[in-house]
Structure 1
């Protein structure tokens, strides 16, 4: 099958997938799009929103619609790395036997990831980057596809451990969920207070998603689009020559090379689901805010003057 036909087929399947997810998730269109984009690129996402915005339900519904195995890990201050990765126990023959932890699944929902200490957060790092884990010197490959979709509550910061920059950089997107509109909230209440059960059909298999990831990587990109993405990331670095006045004034740190890679990958996926056979600068702009916002660090002046990360990125765009 040619890549052109594969792209056309993916667009129609994507529309069906969106309507299937829409049976359960009302609104949150941008969040659903970004979660699916990150899955088609093979990336991880950080979902940020106040309690009750259906973050867990969103991840659960997406995994059902994609036909993937789903495990939820509730992150708490006393969670240990072995609770995520698994541990070795002595069996009845006095032999060590490895019991797999919940990380051995296709989609991991790391619920309230900032509630657990850095030692446990770091247990996810190798899995996210290498798609493998090392326990007691033994190396275990994870089943593919593998995604971490983590949630974070932006309000309550007592008893939390902010994610280190190295771990934040492993997430392709940071996705901010907002309150639903009045009509959407009315629909949510109607749907969730009746005894009707909604069944979500799966439109993909694990193998098909791996094929989609290969297709996305095969999409050709012109040099000017790559140069635009790299230049955009370069402008976020306060000490670089390309940095704008606003960046120098309000940022402590800019984004690293992983941001440039993710911009191009996400632009390719964005082009594909829009029915295009190659991304343009508009596709890069469409994914810039969720890719850059968690990779740049504001200074005190920005905090004092109420300048948001979105304002800074929009000024660059």
Structure 2
């Protein structure tokens, strides 16, 4: 049966709020935590973007739930050798309950140092090499690596967990899913698409965990919940590759008029209909997901956790 976790949004909340939400998630009966890794929010209305590794340190002391980044890009803004050190320390602090979720990233977060933003095929190539580098470093042995994209000389992680940090790879299309099946310890995707799960498992993923996530907006006034999503997260309704190539929050804001409240109402679980919340999560379970994470959009976090604790989680398979 699937496990159900809570998805902490670093784009929408500051560090103290995220830690408090993690406490509420544990008390409500969620079994794990995801946390996003961003340099910028998607738009100014979201308004936050704390350094995820500092927040994970706080989470390790505040809760006993497993934690995973969803997802870190270990290729441009941060060198994989640095990400490996951050992940290894996080695993030690959580006493082995940390997984590193990785993906090929977005220009929104990764171009900030002036580096060129590569095309998708190159980004996947860089991600595969980064995973190789990090896996070697997790052994605690000295690593020297001269690759196509990365150089590492005489690097050794002295603080490492007893077991290497598992690396789950994010994929939203066939090529990235194929990479996840080939090099990942698990697979992350954001749509309850059984065909992608099947591709992952048949492509080499086998019985390794498949994780997915979704956003909802709980509230007793459904129309108000729709407006909240429309204000804070219209970016999730933009089509194609825009999410990967637009460089700043203001560019996403320029496209917000393309997203209507009706699109939000049709594409997001809003309100307090228990059946709708349960059906959306069950869709992931029916598609073969092992771990399913849900994020509450907007300020009514306590109401959301009370609702899920008493009405939604008890009904999930």
Structure-1-length-normalised TM-score: 0.29
In our comparison, the structure showing a higher alpha carbon Rg is 1
